[in-house]
Amino acid sequence: MANQPSGITLFGAKGGGSAIIEAQLDYLKIPYIRRYLNWERLNDPKGDLAKVNPAREIPALLLPDGSVMTESAAITLWLGAEKPDSGLVPKTGTPEYGQFLRWLIWLVASVYPTFSYGDHPKRLLQDETAARSLRAATDKRREEMWRQFETAVTSTPWLIGNSMTALDIYIAVMTHWRPRRDWFKKNCPKVFEVAKRVDMMPEFEGMWARNLFD
């Protein structure tokens, strides 16, 4: 890699989106230091995360040259370019690459924001009832999105092509979040299958154990 990999620090929080990047770094066998932050303090403007990422969101990577990478999709594409033969990101020019980009951007631009707003509704709406409604509405909208995605899934056990990509890792982690795995099992069985297949991969045992998903 252009940057000395041994000097990468991943800022994360247990069970959060940093697990998606943790899994990729583990899969690629890139050494890195994990800095798990307390969920309660992530958004503290004076906290450790704010010094690295003004958006106060994880995942954030601090690279050896002092530069910072944030946004899980950007990190994913960057890692894919650094390790082009890993298969985590399909090769450019293939049909798989187009589909990969399509669903990667959908995950981070459509699904992820439902958590950004729904997890912390009072950042947007002071009123208790309005905040509760926002959370309920974003939860409902997310379920609709996943149901739509389920109809678009044409292959299992991997979403794209014949081998695992970073998209499958996103699915495995994000299906632990609301509405959670049991809901997926019942309502989005193809998506659930993908997640289960990732669960079985030995490369991710450490990531699952550290992140304490339910």
Ligand X SMILES: N[C@@H](CCC(=O)N[C@@H](CS)C(=O)NCC(=O)O)C(=O)O
**What residues line the site for ligand X (CB under 6 A)?**
16-17, 42-43, 57-59, 71-73, 108, 112, 116, 120
**Residue number with CB closer to ligand X (43 or 86):** 43
Least distance to ligand X, CB of residue 205, Å: 21
Alpha-carbon distance of 135 to 130, in angstroms, equals 9
Q: Say how far apart CA 26 and CA 203 lie, in whole Å.
A: 7
**Cα–Cα distance for residue pair 23/15, rounded to 1 Å:** 12
Phi, psi dihedral angles at 174 (to 5 degrees): -70, -25
Residue nearer to ligand X on the CB measure, 67 or 162: 67
Kindly state the smallest distance separating residue 162's Cβ from ligand X, in Å.
26
H or E stretch covering 9: strand 8-12
Q: How far is the CB of 56 from ligand X (least distance, A)?
A: 6
**Nearest alpha carbon to residue 115 among 10, 11, 15:** 15
CA pair distance 110, 205, nearest whole angstrom: 28
Shortest reach from residue 169's CB to ligand X, in Å:
13
The residue (of 56 and 197) whose beta carbon lies closer to ligand X is: 56
Nearer to ligand X, 108 or 198 (CB): 108
Q: How far is the CB of 175 from ligand X (least distance, A)?
A: 14
Strand partners, 69: 61
**Cα–Cα distance for residue pair 77/92, rounded to 1 Å:** 11
Q: Which is nearer to ligand X, 190 or 210 (CB)?
A: 210
